[in-house]
Amino acid sequence: MAEYIAPIQRLIEEFRRLPGVGAKTAARYAFATLDLSDEAAAEFAEAIIAIKREVHKCPICFSLSESADACEICSSDKRDRSVICVVENPKDVMVMERVRGYRGTYHVLGGSLSPIDNVTPDDLTVSALVGRVATGEIDEVIIATNPTPGGDTTAAYLARVLEPYGVRTSRLAYGIPVGGDIEYADEVTLYRAMEGRRYFGE
């Protein structure tokens, strides 16, 4: 038997679909929703419906777009279309956009390679990326996959498949966070910071 009356139990189960939401948190959310005014609850429900209806994937970079056509970045003439920054998820595009000064475009892979989870290049947008590079209009590909084993594997794989096209590829250097103290950095972070060091005057 369910712990709560049916409508509450139903909403609890819906909240549990979200990452990081366990049974307790889901129950808290369900009861908080119950406390919303009718108008607020309707707006909440409508926002969920709208996100599915109004958010599309850009057919070029696979980032999120408000229309079914190319996204704002891909269609902007202020962006340098000869540079592609490859990221794992649409959220990463927003993070990278906070880096002032980057004027290139993006390519969202939709995840990273993982032999354990059976994620192969066919599950990602790799062939579309190769297609973009194969046009010959791309000079540089910056691989900004996450500093995780999956992100590293993906970066190495991409560098290999893009090599025949004579495009410059680089991997984002990960290191000590700004404002961080090397005393507290773990070994992997320090190693990467050392590896990604830049020479003065370059």
Total residues contacting Zn ion by CB under 5 A comes to 6
Q: What's the min distance (Å) between Cβ of 94 and Zn ion?
A: 13
CB of 165 to Zn ion, least distance (A): 20
Query: Which of 67-75, 114-122, 127-135, 176-184 is the region at the interface with Zn ion (rule: CB under 5 A)?
Result: 67-75
Residue 111 gets the label, from left (phi > 0), alpha (psi -120 to 50) or beta, of left
- Residue 109 interacts with Zn ion (CB under 5 A): yes or no: no
**b vs e for 161-191, b when ≥16 Cβ sit within 10 Å of the residue's Cβ?**
ebeeeebebebbebbeeeeeeeeebeeebee
Among 12, 74, 133, 162, binds Zn ion (CB under 5 A): 74
Rounded CA separation 106/52 (Å)? 22
Q: Contacting Zn ion (CB under 5 A), which of 11, 12, 27, 61? A: 61
58 binds Zn ion (CB under 5 A): yes
Q: Which amino acid is at 78?
A: K
Which of 60, 119, 141, 155 lies at the binding interface for Zn ion (CB under 5 A)?
60
> Is there binding between residue 138 and Zn ion (CB under 5 A)?
no
Q: How crowded is residue 122: how many other Cβ atoms within 10 Å of its Cβ?
A: 8
Cα maximum dimension of the chain: 70
CB of 64 vs Zn ion, minimal distance in Å: 9
Which residues are within 8 A (CB) of 96 and not within 5 positions of it... i.e. 6 or more apart?
A: 85, 87, 102, 106, 144
Closest contact distance (angstroms) between CB of 111 and Zn ion is 18
Nearer to Zn ion, 26 or 60 (CB): 60
3-state secondary structure of 201: coil
Residue 83's nearest CA partner among 163, 140, 144, 168 is: 140
Stretch in the footprint of Zn ion (CB under 5 A) among 19-27, 72-80, 108-116, 193-201:
72-80
What is the DSSP-derived secondary structure letter of residue 123?
G
Output 60 or 162, the one with its CB closest to Zn ion: 60
Task: Say how many C-beta atoms besides its own lie within 10 A of residue 125's C-beta.
Answer: 20
Q: Which is nearer to Zn ion, 66 or 195 (CB)?
A: 66
Q: What minimum distance in Å lies between the beta carbon of 86 and Zn ion?
A: 13
Q: To the nearest whole angstrom, how small is the minimum distance from the Cβ of residue 58 to Zn ion?
A: 3
- Regarding 86 and contact with Zn ion (CB under 5 A), the answer is no
Q: In the complex, which residues of this chain contact Zn ion (CB under 5 A)?
A: 58, 60-61, 63, 71, 74
